[in-house]
């Protein structure tokens, strides 16, 4: 059985990593997928999806999306940016950029598609947060942890405000996941072997998570199996926050 048959789903940051895995899983489960990313390259690998190159932090560009793609029943906000640094070496501009990418993008996308979901009394909003947030701290992740904590607060607020309108809003908080973004951070350490070992060492299971494992949780939240779930923050971190 295709668990998302008949659903039309928007997935942001679908060109790579977790967003790409979610879009792929949704297609496999029978959904019509609108895959959005800032870059066209990764979108070309999503056979069967409708695609759009959009800057998720651009208010005008995002506001135009519902006219192009009406009747959206699932929205996955996956755009994210990992800034490194403590409060003392994080410039205000970097904190503002982190809020723009990690939080403002979700505000814009939800604001664009929520009215249609309310009108049809049918909507599942899935926000990709992080276990590094209000759940736990991590070294040199001041701006990232602050903004991902905001994502969890945003999720619960939207869930509470629209609980009677047929719209659910949940968050997924991954631990350390094997993605191109992680590969960039490993490379930035200057020692690929030691950098990778350090990231794995944060995971009590002794391995990194996979984007496909996160995508499986997104499929659940998008499906009819999760219709009694709203305002939840699902942690999928291999025990990192324990």
Which H or E run contains 233?
strand 233-236
d(CA 160, CA 155): 9
Map residue 87 onto helix, strand or coil.
helix
Polymer length in residues for the chain: 242
d(CA 239, CA 202): 9
In the set 81, 142, 144, 162, the catalytic residue is 144
Copy the structure tokens of residue 219: 């499929």
Q: Quick check: is 144 catalytic?
A: yes
**Helix and strand element counts for the chain (H, E):** 10, 9
78 secondary structure, DSSP code: -
DSSP codes of every residue in 183-208 = HHHHHHTT-HHHHHHHHHHT-TTSS-
Segment 115-121 long-range contacts (CB within 8 Å, at least 24 positions apart): 115/66, 116/66, 116/70, 116/71, 116/72, 117/72, 117/73, 117/75, 117/165, 117/166, 117/167, 118/162, 118/165, 118/166, 118/167, 120/71, 120/73, 120/166, 121/165, 121/166, 121/167
Catalytic residues: 144
């Amino acid at each position: 059985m295709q668990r998302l048959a008949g659903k039309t789903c928007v997935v942001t940051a679908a060109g790579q990593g977790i967003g790409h895995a979610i879009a792929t899983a949704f297609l496999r489960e029978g959904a019509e997928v609108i895959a959005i990313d800032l870059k066209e390259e990764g979108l070309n690998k999503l056979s069967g999806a409708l695609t759009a190159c959009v800057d998720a932090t651009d208010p005008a560009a995002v506001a135009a999306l519902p006219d192009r793609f009406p009747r959206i029943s699932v929205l996955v906000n996956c755009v994210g940016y990992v800034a490194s640094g403590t409060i003392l070496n994080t410039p205000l501009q970097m904190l503002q950029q982190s809020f723009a990418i990690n939080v403002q993008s979700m505000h814009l996308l939800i604001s664009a598609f929520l009215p249609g979901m309310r009108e049809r009394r049918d909507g599942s909003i899935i926000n990709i947060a992080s276990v590094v947030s209000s759940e736990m701290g991590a070294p040199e992740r001041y701006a990232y942890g602050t903004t991902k904590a905001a994502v969890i607060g945003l999720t619960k607020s939207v869930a509470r405000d629209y609980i009677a309108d047929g719209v659910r809003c949940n968050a997924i908080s991954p631990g350390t996941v094997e993605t191109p973004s992680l590969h960039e951070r490993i490379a930035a350490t200057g020692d690929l072997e030691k950098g990778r070992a350090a990231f794995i060492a944060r995971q009590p299971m002794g391995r990194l998570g996979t984007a496909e494992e996160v995508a499986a949780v997104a499929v659940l939240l998008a499906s009819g199996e999760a219709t009694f779930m709203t305002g939840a923050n699902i942690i999928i971190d291999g025990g990192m926050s324990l």
